[in-house]
Amino acid sequence: MWDYSEKVMDHYRNPRNVGKIDNADAIGEAGSLACGDSLKIYLKIENGIVTDAKFQTFGCGSAVASSSILTEMIIGKTVEEVKKITNKDIAEQLGGLPPEKMHCSVMGYEALEDALGNYDNLTDLDDLRDEKKAEKIVCTCFNVTENMIWDAIKQNGLKTLEDITNYTKAGGACGKCKGLIQDIIDTYYKKEESESQQSTLSPAQRILKINNIIETQISPELRKDGGDITLVDIDGNKVLVKLRGKCSGCKNSHLTLKAFVESTLRDTVDKNIDVIEVA
């Protein structure tokens, strides 16, 4: 038996704002009946403020409680404020959820995100649906996309496969997606580590690193095609360079700068770097 907070029990026994809103300004959905639970949320938005919210859910007690408290959290708030709400906020407002039930708070967050996305794209819903279809599904058993897993890791600091299953259900049935989920976790933390290393560089270390990347990674690649590059100066995020050899005067030099030189420096040193060619 799960250990539920009083608040969860209260919202489960007396759910607020159940139902649908006719002529809703935004509707969002998450989960699916095939996966065991689903949520549909309706928003009424006037002058940028959520004036009413209702939900219909098919799911367990925590799904009902998460949806119910979510509607209370968003009514009266501006759309911009509502956009900042995460699944962690929903769980906190409920006084916590058992780890195995965190996916209910994620479902609330996803339905809200879907509704706000639809609200922002009211004029082009078909494009939005196409975009969603194009998202990469990682777990076909529960229809969980790569973005959903990435968001769950980011918002909740998830570290293990078990965490991901608790928060999104992905990996909780046939298990075929576990390798892919582990890849996403590894990629997330590698990226985070490299970003934290970048932010701790002193100005002198930063200059040395940029110079080193240019000399050991960028220049050798350009030399293979008869070109080359020299670092001229660094001014804040601006890295001034001179292209040489075949690269100099080449009609594709702009592409070389942006697609190769700048992207290499952004990946390895700082994502805000701008590379500028000087004569």
**What residues are labeled active site?**
35, 104
Phi-psi region of 228 (alpha: psi -120 to 50; beta: other; left: phi over 0): beta
For ligand FES, the binding residue among 20, 129, 132, 176 (CB under 6 A) is 176
For ligand FES, the binding residue among 35, 39, 177, 214 (CB under 6 A) is 177
Q: How far apart are CA 140 and CA 151, in angstroms?
A: 18
Q: Which two tokens stand for residue 208?
A: 């040395």
Shortest spacing between CB 151 and ligand FES, in angstroms: 17
> Is position 32 an interface residue for ligand FES (rule: CB under 6 A)?
no
> Is position 140 an interface residue for ligand FES (rule: CB under 6 A)?
yes
Shortest spacing between CB 138 and ligand FES, in angstroms: 7
Q: How far apart are CA 126 and CA 102, in angstroms?
A: 31
- The β-bridge partners of 229 are 243
Nearest to ligand FES of 45, 170 (CB atom)? 170
For ligand FES, the binding residue among 64, 170, 218, 275 (CB under 6 A) is 170
31 CB neighbour count, 10 Å cutoff: 26
For ligand FES, the binding residue among 174, 208, 255, 259 (CB under 6 A) is 174
> Is position 173 an interface residue for ligand FES (rule: CB under 6 A)?
yes
Q: How far apart are CA 268 and CA 227, in angstroms?
A: 22
Nearest to ligand FES of 17, 38 (CB atom)? 38
N- to C-terminal Cα separation, the chain:
71
For ligand FES, the binding residue among 175, 179, 220, 226 (CB under 6 A) is 175
User: Cβ(128)–Cβ(121) under 8 Å?
Assistant: yes
Q: How far apart are CA 147 and CA 103, in angstroms?
A: 15
Nearest to ligand FES of 59, 172 (CB atom)? 172
Q: Which residues bind ligand FES (CB under 6 A)?
A: 139-141, 170-177
